[in-house]
Every structure is written in C-alpha cells, then in structure tokens.
Amino acid sequence: MCNCPKVTFYEVEFKTVGMKVVANHKNCGDFLNDDQFSAFEKELTKYWGFEEKKE
C-alpha cells in the first residue's frame, strides 16, 4: 500500500494484476490505499464533469 502523503490526479497509473486492474502511484509504484483511491475517484468524476452521488 502507498504511504505517500498526497497523490495527485496525474501521478496515478493503472496496471493489471491477474484479472484485476488496480490503481498505482507512479512515484513509489505501490497500490493506492482506500482513502487515496476515494480522493482520486472524486477528483476524476469532477474532472470528467459528472455529478457526485448524493447519499
């Protein structure tokens, strides 16, 4: 798991591990943890112009 303090939108790449596609941090090469992935997902939906889910 990635322990980097801040992961920006442009530092994330996707790799295949078996039959799964996982998000990795380009600088350290580790998988994103849950909090980092949630932040990345919010930034991605904002960048693409989709509205966030309201729960």
Encode pLDDT of 4-53 as tens digits: 888 887 888 999 989 998 889 888 888 888 888 888 888 888 888 887 66
Of 18, 12, 14, the closest CA to residue 39 belongs to 12
> What local confidence, expressed as pLDDT, does residue 52 receive?
62
The CA R_g of the chain, rounded to the nearest whole Å, is: 12
> What's the whole-model pTM score?
0.68
Do you know the residue count of the chain? 55
* Domain extent listing, the chain: 9-48
Locus of tokens 């889910």: 53
> What local confidence, expressed as pLDDT, does residue 55 receive?
60
Of 21, 15, 34, 17, the closest CA to residue 7 belongs to 34
Spatial distance between the Cα atoms of 47 and 1, rounded to a whole number of angstroms: 25
> What local confidence, expressed as pLDDT, does residue 50 receive?
80
